[in-house]
């Protein structure tokens, strides 16, 4: 039995990103699977405010919720193994800014596109996603400083934040016949995607397409993204 | 001592900008203030915040920091020697402070807009949601003088700017926040006695008048 328990659904990108960090830091944990169509008493009492996964339970402390907050917590309790966030305050501020952009502006476009009806609406959303990918390409160039990851020579905060959406990216691309990260338009990110898929920690934690399709269908039915 | 360039680009009524003002005052750091006209945004704003083109933005020695809670954490980290940290030192307590600040950030402003922008059922749902949020936050305060304990902390700074808007919400929504959340209103009054907050909070009547003006402007 581990001191750390992660309450979540293997299909959720927000849960996956916490799993990336736990694995990168070689932290043992027990995974408690949650059925998002029928939330357990444990989830509802652990996260009564938002009722969402992931939730981290550590030792006898009360639960910690929200994936980005959990990641900062893990980075603070285990700073010596695979540091996720940089130490410089302006670098930290830029990392946090782009994490917010990815979660609040970029990734929600995937769900909007999946729900959209009509060719014009879909094309407009694809255009927004492409514009977003170009902003992310510029950010990648600045953060990576010529290395292979946002974190530099190894996986860092934004690799984890954006990386968890890679499975969904593939599905959205296939379903809409376009490339989000394209060799011509976003060459660095196109390479980054390939590099990430080869990384053991990443590929072992991103669920298969059928699981992700089910998640997307579930989200399309409900009005709130969680 | 090297003179630092520190500019806060803001719009006067923004509760998000107010958070940054309070943080800077708490640390006692001198800064230049630039008012941005949100009805006629300057080219400056799109260069310092090209992703969102929004205020507040803190420009520190040429580098821009955007998003208010991000700016507050940045200020706390850069000027860590100027005052007690806004965040607790214990990682678990820090995670809780971040959670509540994030919760307020994501939910309160949007919910409150329905109270003064909408009528009928939409307005009622905004009012119910605002009260739900305030009661949850009040529960988190408990009987501490501040969310940060004995001093203003991250959650206090995140929430107190909205105190200037209580009058607006109450007037449009025809309800009393003090009746529903007396402990929270006591906290707000206590916060307002702090010099950094008193200097930074906007006058509630001025905010109300501005929101009435905006409503008229938007319906034309």
Interface pTM, i.e. ipTM:
0.89
B114-171: per-residue pLDDT in tens? Answer: 999 999 999 999 999 999 999 999 999 999 999 999 999 999 999 999 999 999 999 9
B176-201: per-residue pLDDT in tens? Answer: 999 999 999 999 999 999 999 999 99
More confident of the two residues A181 and A49: A181
Mean pLDDT of chain A: 93
Residue B138 in contact with partner chain A when CB distance is under 8 A = no
| Helix ranges restricted to H, chain A | 13-24, 41-46, 67-77, 89-101, 108-115, 119-144, 157-163, 166-176, 187-198, 200-203, 209-221
What's the rounded Cα separation, in Å, for the pair A205 and A15?
A: 9
Provide the sign of the torsion angle of the four alpha carbons A8, B132, B165, B96, taken in this order: negative
- E strands along B69-217, which residues? none
Range from A32-41, A170-179, A215-224, B119-128 carrying the lowest mean pLDDT: A215-224
Range from A70-84, B38-52, B83-97 carrying the lowest mean pLDDT: B38-52
Distance from CA of B155 to the nearest CA of A (A): 14
Query: Given an 8 Å threshold on Cβ–Cβ distance, is A65 in contact with B92?
Result: no
Residue B175 in contact with partner chain A when CB distance is under 8 A = no
What's the rounded Cα separation, in Å, for the pair B85 and B157?
A: 12
B152 three-state secondary structure: coil
Inform me whether the pLDDT recorded for A81 exceeds 60: yes
More confident of the two residues B41 and A221: B41
Share of chain A above pLDDT 70, in %: 98
Helix (H) or strand (E) holding B92: helix B91-117
Report residue B2's pLDDT band, with 50, 70 and 90 as the boundaries: low
What's the rounded Cα separation, in Å, for the pair B110 and B202?
A: 19
Report residue A225's pLDDT band, with 50, 70 and 90 as the boundaries: very low
Query: Which of B23, B64, B91, B108 to substitute to test the interface with A, most A CBs within 10 Å?
Result: B91
**Neighboring chain B residues of A90 at a CB cutoff of 8 Å:** 60, 63, 65, 74, 78
Query: Which of B48, B49, B52, B95 to substitute to test the interface with A, most A CBs within 10 Å?
Result: B95
Share of chain B above pLDDT 70, in %: 99
Residue B217 in contact with partner chain A when CB distance is under 8 A = no
Report residue B39's pLDDT band, with 50, 70 and 90 as the boundaries: confident
Residues of A with CB under 8 A from a CB of B: 49-50, 58, 61-62, 64-66, 69-70, 72-73, 76-77, 89-90, 92-94, 96-97, 100-101, 135
């Amino acid at each position: 039995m581990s001191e750390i328990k992660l309450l979540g659904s293997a299909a959720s990108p927000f849960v996956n990103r916490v799993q990336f960090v736990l694995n990168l830091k070689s932290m043992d944990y027990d995974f408690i699977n949650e059925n998002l169509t029928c939330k357990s008493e444990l989830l509802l009492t652990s996260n009564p405010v938002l009722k969402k996964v992931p939730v981290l339970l550590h030792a006898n402390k009360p639960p910690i919720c929200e994936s980005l907050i959990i990641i900062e917590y893990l980075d603070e309790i285990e700073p010596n193994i695979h540091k996720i966030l940089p130490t410089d305050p302006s670098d930290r501020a830029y990392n946090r800014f782009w994490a917010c952009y990815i979660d609040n502006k970029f990734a929600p476009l995937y769900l909007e596109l999946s729900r959209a009806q009509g060719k014009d609406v879909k094309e407009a959303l694809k255009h927004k996603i492409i514009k977003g990918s170009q902003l992310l390409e510029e950010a990648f160039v600045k953060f990576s400083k010529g290395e292979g990851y946002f974190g530099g020579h190894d996986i860092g905060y934004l690799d984890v934040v954006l990386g968890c959406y890679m499975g969904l990216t593939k599905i959205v691309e296939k379903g809409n016949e376009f490339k989000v990260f394209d060799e011509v338009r976003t060459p660095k990110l196109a390479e980054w995607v390939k590099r990430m898929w080869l990384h053991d920690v990443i590929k072992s934690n991103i669920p298969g397409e059928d699981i992700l399709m089910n998640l997307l269908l579930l989200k399309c039915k409900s009005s709130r993204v969680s | 001592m090297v003179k630092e360039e520190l500019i806060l680009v803001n719009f006067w009524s923004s509760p998000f900008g107010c958070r940054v003002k309070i943080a800077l005052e708490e640390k006692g750091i001198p800064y230049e203030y630039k008012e941005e006209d949100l009805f006629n945004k300057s080219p400056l704003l799109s260069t310092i915040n090209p992703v969102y083109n929004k205020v507040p933005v803190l420009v520190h020695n040429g580098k821009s920091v955007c998003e208010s809670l991000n700016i507050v954490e940045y200020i706390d980290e850069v000027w860590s020697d100027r005052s007690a940290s806004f965040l607790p030192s214990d990682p678990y307590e820090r995670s809780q402070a971040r959670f509540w600040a994030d919760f307020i950030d994501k939910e309160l402003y949007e919910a409150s807009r329905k109270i003064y922008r909408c009528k009928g059922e939409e307005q009622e749902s905004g009012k119910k949601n605002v009260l739900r949020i305030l009661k949850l936050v009040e529960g988190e305060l408990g009987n501490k003088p501040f969310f940060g304990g004995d001093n203003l902390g991250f959650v206090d700074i995140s929430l107190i700017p909205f105190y200037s808007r209580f009058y607006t919400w109450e007037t449009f929504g025809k309800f009393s926040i003090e009746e529903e959340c007396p402990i929270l209103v006591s906290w707000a009054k206590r916060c307002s006695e702090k010099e950094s907050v008193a200097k930074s909070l906007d006058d509630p009547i001025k905010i109300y008048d501005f929101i009435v003006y905006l409503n008229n402007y938007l319906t034309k």
